Amino acid sequence: MTIRFGVDRLIADQHLLGEARRVGLVTNDAARLADDATRHSRIALLEAGVPLARLFGPEHGLTAQAADGTTVADGTDPLTGLPVVSLYGERFRPELASLSDLDAVLFDIPDVGARYYTYTWTLFHVLAACADAQVPLVVLDRPNPSGGEIASAEGPVLEADCRSFVGEDAIPIRHQLTHGELAMLWRRERFANARLEVVTCDGWQRAMQWPQCGLPWVPTSPAMPSFASAQMYAGSCLFEATNLSVGRGTDAPFQQVGAPWLDVGAVLSDLARRVPRGAEFNEVTFVPDSGPYAGERCRGVHITVTAHSTFRPVATGFLLLAAIATTHRLRLQWARYPTAANPGGEGHFERLVGRRGIRRYFDGSPQRIDSSLVSAWTDTGDWEARVAPALLYG
């Protein structure tokens, strides 16, 4: 069956939107049609007669090209002439004044399925703000690129004392839900008065990862140029809390980690005894254009997924980090990661992992970190039971 996104369905049947006369849209340039990946969804909505009055942009801005963590200013969309309210910088949720004159807000932004990806938390805050203002929110749903098999979800589940803009609620790192399903979950658990509708995708099933969708990949942000990068991101993003590079600016960001001083042979030897599943690891050299060692030649480990059904990116990230911590005790360091949402950049590892106490294993006895221990860290507890009422796809 041909896949259609929520936006494609709304364009084909505007009765799904009701009688709204002034509509806001949370979006960016990565939001395209399933029917035509060259068409921005906001242009297609306007041409179909949807009365858009205001746009809202997440991290990376409306262009989806602003640098990671950089404050984005309000502005005007050059494609439509509509005003753009930034939700990453001066504010992270819409103010009442920007919602009170709207009859509805649409949300249409592609995601990568990892808790740290901030588009998820833009949705969370938009839902909260719309609930407060009693403005209907309509999520135009899209597939989760990593699929929807709940059994493939990976924790840790976020604990309350680790909340931040890379994790505002108790969900796993790899949650396996669509944006529409997350919104349904939050209405049930957090925002009971929210006026929420989800325009679901046609043709997508939970077992389908992005390659099975038969659709081109549109980069969702500057360092997400391919599905391969998105697939590994849930694990390799952990390295952004260290002094290793994840290859930003190369053709394979988040598929590789490295540093000028990395002894790749020793790392690969150590990693082999930890038995990560579903991937192979090879030596690579690369030159990042930002982050640690920008402009320097790095020796690194490249990760290639060989079995999508058994590959677990978060577990793989933990095991690779343990191998590096064991072979490079003096070289590996924790790093701050300043962003508009966390200007000091402190505690980044805990913000990503979502749980305190795990760092001490890497500082103390990283050689003891094995698949069994990592399995306990990535356990998702009652996640399957929690999300069951929110699931929209079979």
Q: What are the tens digits of pLDDT across the range 139-167?
A: 999 999 999 999 999 999 999 999 999 99
- The CATH H-level (homologous superfamily) assignment of domain 6-143+178-219 is Uncharacterised protein PF07075, DUF1343 (3.40.50.12170)
b/e 222-249 (16+ beta carbons within 10 angstroms → b):
bbbbbbbbbbbbbbbbbbbbbebbbbbb
**pLDDT band at residue 39 under the 50/70/90 scheme:** very high
Domains in the chain: boundaries = 6-143+178-219, 227-377
Q: Give, as one character, the DSSP assignment of residue 43.
A: H
- Is 59 within 8 Å of 24 (Cβ atoms)? no
pLDDT at residue 14 in the model: 83
Token duo for residue 40: 């921005």
Nearest to 179 by CA among 227, 93, 110: 110
Q: Answer whether 6-143+178-219 and 227-377 agree in fold.
A: no
- Measured CA to CA, the distance from residue 83 to residue 36 in angstroms comes to 25
37 neighbors 215 (Cβ within 8 angstroms)? yes
**pLDDT, tens digit, 9 for 90 and up, residues 224-261:** 999 999 999 999 999 999 999 999 999 999 999 999 99
**What is the model's pLDDT at position 254?**
98
Q: Across residues 178-192, what is the average pLDDT?
A: 98
- Please give the pLDDT value at position 260: 98
Distance of CA 209 to the CA centre of its chain: 15
> What is the residue-averaged pLDDT of the chain?
97
The confidence band for 55, taking pLDDT boundaries of 50, 70 and 90, is: very high
Per DSSP, 89 falls in state S
Q: What is the model's pLDDT at position 56?
A: 98
Taking residues 197-226, report their average pLDDT: 97
Contact 140, 6 (CB under 8 A): yes
Check whether 62 has a pLDDT greater than 90: yes
**227-377 CATH pick, 3.30.1490.120, 3.90.1150.140, 3.40.50.11720, 3.20.20.70:** 3.90.1150.140
Which of 39, 55, 36 is closest to 47 using CA atoms?
A: 39
Check pLDDT > 80 for residue 108.
Answer: yes
pLDDT value of position 19: 83
Residue 262 has pLDDT above 80, yes or no: yes
Structure tokens at 390: 């929110």
> How crowded is residue 24: how many other Cβ atoms within 10 Å of its Cβ?
27
Residue 259 has what pLDDT? 98
Tell me how crowded residue 269 is: count the other CB atoms within 10 A of its CB. Answer: 12
C-alpha triplet 364, 360, 312: angle, nearest 5°: 105
Torsion of CA 292, 226, 198, 59, to 10 degrees: 30
CA atoms within 13 A on the CB side of 316: 31
Is 206:177 a contact under the CB 8 Å cutoff?
Answer: no
Helix (H, G, I), strand (E, B) or coil at 235: helix
Q: What is the mean pLDDT of residues 319-335?
A: 97
